[in-house]
Structures are given as structure tokens and as C-alpha cells.
């Protein structure tokens, strides 16, 4: 890039976009570039020009091609033009110069508009498919692709379990010499073998981040909001990345993910799996699970992990020579949004929409921190033993209510006798609650808890009678 001495270069919007793509706050980027946060703020607001010295520092610090900073947003303008060509915007005009102005002055708004349109278009496509075919909806998002891939592997990656056991053994061999446990041993290994320091910082410095790696200063930054189990998991995650990054990349390539975002998300998922295998090595964890009758409180105490970490690990115990109970897991918030769904084998719930309201997973919010058990029966006649409990979301703030997530675990009823939570129940003649998949895919009738009619059944509304179901429908 030719930067003449008398030329003022204003690149505020593009610098802001670069900072956001790097996942940095203004304070963090200012520290990296050795300038004050206020000076960087003025540059991003185009109140100060970018100097040649700062451009060179940007190139050296972040390995940025300076030519890209000086390019217009032609590619993004083309994307926005395509959006505004949709018939839904009929009658609206968006000249190219206005789109370029939006991209320069408010890149975050432009990104939000593109993301919102993609979400709308995906939802419209799924709705058309559902109405036209009456079949299960499809979702090609990165999250769904990764979820389906993990499910196709039975949520079991033996190569990661082997790596995790080896690293756990190395850390365990180091700990007795210092009279401490996992976290100090992990910090020593990161420092001695990888020249990587670990620092815990105040929440106001970390802002929205709970964990952030600074590759330029070789520092792993952790938020003070992390609980000890979450802090240990962050250290295990970093160890997994620095010691087995090549192996993880190889697994991602082998999976054949369709695009960059999906590959990135898959790598995070695999790294999380390896971190769990380091904290809870397969052999020791499976043996402890069997010996304790899958009592999660005892597993938490034994391995220094959280309830959710131990519950997630239970879904991965599919080693042929040492299988555990085949659990499924679902995590929901109080609004019913599903953020985790794992199973090593059969899975009784829909891939789309929420879980059945008759499942006590949702009622766990009424008894925070306590285990709620239930035997359920799915439409195919299968019976499952389930138990649920609330957990706290990582990185709580002053606006959170605390126990705002619920973890549901379950297995086929034939395995329930192996679980501490089923003691005292008549498993031969159980009282089972009939449930369905998501309401739009469920044909159980009548149902007082129904939130929507099935997508492939017409409504049967009768002004002379009232059903217990708010959405009676014509059965096939």
C-alpha cells in the first residue's frame, strides 16, 4: 500500500471489522499495538487518520495484508444487493452508494442484516419443505452438521480417548512430586513445555470472554468468573490444542466438513472432547462410574469436574472393551431452547424444535440443584429412564438468575437397574409417562400440553365442542 506522507488515510470501519474478526476488545487491540484505547477509538470513528507506523504495526502484529484494509466493500455490497433483490423487499430501493456507505460507517449493522436475512431465508426454505412434503425439516447450519457428524460417530472418538489418557497420566505423574493436583500440574506443563503463562483477569477486563488465548504474548487469559471445574477445563482445552493441534486438524479434515465455519466449529467440539478425556480419562472414569452406580455427585468429587462435564462424559463411554450405560443428553434453557443434544445410540427425541413438555426436564427449574427422575414412553413403545437437574450457566453476571440451564440424561429402561437414581422404583411394572417428539412432529392425541398442531395433520376446530387439546387435529 502506498501511504504518502501528506495523505490522510481514514480506515475506521475496516479497522473495527478487523478487530471484531480477531475477537478483540478495543482495550486488547490497543495494548497489542502499543497505543491508548482512546486513540484507537478515535481512529475507528474516523476522527483520526491511520499513520504509516500504525499500519506497519498492524501488519507485524496480526499478519495482515495491508492491501485488504484499503479495499472497498465491493464483495459485501454485492451480497447486500442480492438481499435487496428478494421479492420481500419489493418497492424498496437501496442504491449501491448507500450500501457502500452502510458497510463503511456501520459494518456491524450490515453484518447483522446479512445474518438476519440468511436466518429468514433458511426458515422460509424449511417451512416450504414442511408444508410441501410433510417430512422432517432439514438444517444445514454448521451447528447441525457438527451435531449430526458427532451422532454418526456415536459420540465416541477412541483416538481422542487414547490421547487424553496419555496426557492425564503425564500430569498425574508430575502432581505427587509437588503435592498438588490437576490445575497446578497443567499450568507447569504449559509453562515448561510450551512457554505459555496462565493469568486470571477481572471480568471487566475480559468483557464477554471467559477464556482467551493471546498468541503474541503466549498467555492464556481466564476470567475470574470461572468456577474451579471450568478453570480446569479451560486449561485442559489449551493443553489439547497445543499438544494435539495437528491431530485435531487431521480429524477435522477427515470428517469432510463443507465449509470453514463448520470446520472451525467441529474443531472446537473435538477439542472439547479431548479436554474432557484429559480431565476424565476413559478407563478410570468408566470404572468409577460403574462402581458408583453412575452417581454424578461422586464422579464430580472424584475427578474435580462439574455436573455438566461429568454428564457429558457419560454419553461417550462406548469403548467396545469397557462400555458404559448408553446415555443420551439434552440441555435446555428456561425458554425451552436446546443448546446440547448428544447420544451414543438411539435417541428418542426430534432433531428439530423443543422437547416434549411432558418430560420433567423442564420442571427441573422448579427444584434448582435437585435430581428429578421420570420413566417415559415414546410413540414407538420404547421406555426410557431419565433424570434431570439444573446447572448454572458459565460466566454469570448480575442479570442472570443462577440455575438457568437444565441437563437431562436418560437411557433405555433395561439399563436403569445399574443406576443409583433408579433405586426404590418398580422397574418391572413402571409408571411411564407417554411423551412425543416436538409438538409439530407428534401425533399423540389428545394432549393438554400441546403447543402446536402436527405439520402434516389439518386442524379439527369445532365451534360446538372444546377439546382438552388447544390444537385438535384430524388423525390419519
With 0-12 CB in 10 A as exposed, 13-18 as middle and 19+ as buried, what is 2?
exposed
Do 51 and 179 sit in the same domain of this protein?
no
Nearest Cα residue to 436 out of 343, 353, 331: 353
Domain boundary among 41, 69, 97: 69
Q: Same structural domain for residues 166 and 200?
A: yes
Domain boundary among 43, 69, 95: 69
Residue 399 is predicted with a pLDDT of 47
Task: Please check whether residues 80 and 100 belong to one and the same domain.
Answer: yes
**Does 252 fall in a domain?**
yes
Q: What is the pLDDT of residue 82?
A: 67
Give the span between the Cα atoms of 476 and 473, in whole angstroms. 9
Total Cβ atoms within 10 A of residue 376: 23
How far from each other are the two terminal CA atoms of the chain, in whole angstroms? Answer: 69
In a domain, 415, yes or no: no
Would 31 be classed as within a structural domain? yes
Can you give the pLDDT of all 476 residues of the chain as single tens digits?
444 444 567 777 778 878 877 778 889 889 989 899 899 888 888 888 888 888 888 888 876 666 556 544 554 666 677 677 666 776 677 777 787 778 777 777 887 887 787 777 777 766 655 544 433 334 467 888 888 888 878 888 999 999 999 999 999 988 777 778 899 999 999 999 999 999 999 989 988 899 999 999 999 999 999 999 999 999 999 999 999 999 999 999 999 998 899 999 999 999 999 999 999 999 999 999 999 999 999 999 999 999 999 999 999 998 888 999 999 999 988 877 888 888 755 555 555 455 677 888 888 888 998 999 999 988 778 899 999 999 988 755 544 555 689 999 999 999 999 999 999 999 999 888 888 766 766 777 778 877 777 766 777 777 787 777 777 877 76
* Cβ-contact 344, 154 below 8 angstroms: yes
- Asked if residue 203 belongs to a domain, the reply is yes
What gap in Å lies between CA 98 and CA 446, rounded to an integer? 54
Backbone angles phi, psi at 331, to 5 degrees: -120, 130
Structural domain includes residue 106: yes
Cell of 143: 451447528
User: Is 340 strand, coil or helix?
Assistant: strand
Residue 272 lies in a domain: yes
For strand 383-391 and strand 372-377, is the pairing parallel, antiparallel, or unpaired? Answer: antiparallel
In a domain, 383, yes or no: no
User: Which CATH number does the domain housing residue 181 bear?
Assistant: 1.10.10.2910
Q: What does the block give as the cell for 295? A: 452417581
CA separation (Å) from 174 to 171, 263, 300, 379? Answer: 5, 34, 22, 52
Structural domain count, the chain: 4
| Residue 230 lies inside a defined structural domain of this protein | yes
Is 344 strand, coil or helix?
coil
Domain hosting 82: range is 74-133
146 and 274 share one domain? yes
The three-state secondary structure class of 329 is strand
Among residues 322, 306, 308, 300, which one has the least CA distance to residue 158? Answer: 322
What are the beta bridge partners of residue 214? 219
* Coil, strand or helix at 433: strand
Report the CATH number at residue 31.
Answer: 1.10.260.40
DSSP state of 211: E
* The model's pTM: 0.67
Residue 61 φ then ψ, to 5°: -75, -40
Return the pLDDT at 267: 97
User: What confidence score (pLDDT) does residue 134 get?
Assistant: 37
184 and 91 in a common domain: no
Calpha distance 435→444 (Å, rounded): 8
Last residue of a domain, one of 259, 279, 299: 279
- Asked whether 112 and 17 are in contact (CB, 8 A), the reply is no
Looking at the structure, do residues 120 and 239 belong to the same domain, yes or no?
Answer: no
* Domain identity same for 473 and 449: yes
Q: Are residues 146 and 223 in the same domain?
A: yes
For residue 410, the 8-state DSSP code is E
**Residue 134 near residue 251 (C-beta atoms within 8 A):** no
Q: What is the pLDDT of residue 344?
A: 59
My answer on whether 38 and 111 are in the same domain is no
| Residue 18 and residue 113 share a domain | no
User: Same domain for 146 and 265?
Assistant: yes
DSSP-derived pairing of the beta strands 405-412 and 197-201: unpaired
338 SS3 class? strand
The answer on 268 and 162 residing in a single domain is: yes
Amino acid at each position: 500500500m502506498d501511504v504518502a506522507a501528506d495523505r490522510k488515510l481514514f480506515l475506521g470501519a475496516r479497522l473495527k471489522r478487523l478487530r471484531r474478526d480477531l475477537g478483540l476488545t478495543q482495550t486488547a487491540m490497543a495494548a497489542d499495538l502499543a497505543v491508548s484505547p482512546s486513540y484507537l477509538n478515535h481512529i475507528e470513528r474516523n476522527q483520526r487518520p491511520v499513520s504509516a507506523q500504525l499500519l506497519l504495526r498492524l501488519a507485524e502484529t496480526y499478519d495482515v495484508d495491508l492491501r485488504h484494509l484499503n479495499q472497498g466493500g465491493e464483495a459485501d455490497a454485492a451480497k447486500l444487493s442480492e438481499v435487496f433483490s428478494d421479492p420481500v423487499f419489493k418497492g424498496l430501493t437501496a442504491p449501491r452508494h448507500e450500501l457502500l456507505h452502510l458497510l463503511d460507517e456501520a459494518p456491524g449493522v450490515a453484518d447483522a442484516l446479512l445474518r438476519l436475512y440468511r436466518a429468514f431465508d433458511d426458515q422460509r426454505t424449511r417451512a416450504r419443505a414442511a408444508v410441501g412434503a410433510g417430512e422432517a425439516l432439514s438444517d444445514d447450519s454448521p451447528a447441525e452438521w457438527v451435531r449430526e457428524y458427532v451422532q454418526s460417530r456415536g459420540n465416541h472418538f477412541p483416538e481422542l480417548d487414547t490421547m487424553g489418557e496419555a496426557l492425564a497420566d503425564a500430569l498425574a505423574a508430575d502432581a505427587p512430586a509437588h503435592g498438588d493436583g490437576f490445575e497446578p500440574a497443567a499450568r507447569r506443563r504449559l509453562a515448561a513445555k510450551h512457554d505459555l503463562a496462565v493469568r486470571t483477569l477481572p471480568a471487566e477486563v475480559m468483557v464477554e470472554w471467559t477464556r482467551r488465548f493471546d498468541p503474541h504474548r503466549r498467555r492464556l487469559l481466564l476470567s475470574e468468573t470461572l468456577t474451579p471445574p471450568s478453570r480446569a477445563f479451560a486449561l485442559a482445552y489449551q493443553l489439547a490444542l497445543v499438544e494435539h493441534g495437528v491431530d485435531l486438524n487431521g480429524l477435522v479434515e477427515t470428517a469432510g466438513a463443507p465449509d470453514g465455519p463448520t470446520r472451525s466449529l467441529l474443531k472446537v467440539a473435538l477439542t472439547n472432547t479431548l479436554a474432557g478425556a484429559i480431565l476424565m480419562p476413559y478407563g478410570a472414569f468408566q470404572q468409577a462410574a460403574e462402581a458408583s452406580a453412575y452417581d454424578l455427585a461422586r464422579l464430580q468429587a472424584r475427578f474435580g469436574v462439574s455436573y455438566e462435564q461429568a454428564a457429558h462424559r457419560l454419553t461417550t463411554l462406548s469403548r467396545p472393551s469397557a462400555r458404559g450405560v448408553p446415555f443420551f443428553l439434552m440441555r435446555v434453557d428456561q425458554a425451552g431452547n436446546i443448546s446440547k443434544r448428544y447420544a451414543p445410540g438411539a435417541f428418542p427425541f426430534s432433531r428439530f424444535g423443543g422437547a416434549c413438555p411432558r418430560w420433567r426436564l423442564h420442571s427441573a427449574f422448579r427444584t434448582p440443584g435437585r435430581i428429578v427422575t421420570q420413566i417415559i414412553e415414546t410413540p414407538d413403545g420404547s421406555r426410557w429412564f431419565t433424570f434431570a437437574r439444573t446447572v448454572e450457566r458459565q460466566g454469570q453476571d448480575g442479570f442472570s438468575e443462577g440455575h438457568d440451564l437444565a441437563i437431562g440424561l436418560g437411557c433405555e429402561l433395561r439399563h436403569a437397574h445399574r443406576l443409583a437414581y433408579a433405586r426404590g422404583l418398580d422397574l418391572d411394572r413402571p409408571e411411564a409417562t407417554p411423551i412425543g417428539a416436538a409438538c409439530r412432529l407428534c401425533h399423540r392425541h389428545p394432549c393438554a400440553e400441546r403447543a402446536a398442531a402436527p405439520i402434516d395433520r389439518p386442524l379439527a376446530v369445532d365451534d360446538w365442542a372444546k377439546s382438552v387439546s388447544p390444537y385438535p387435529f384430524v388423525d390419519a
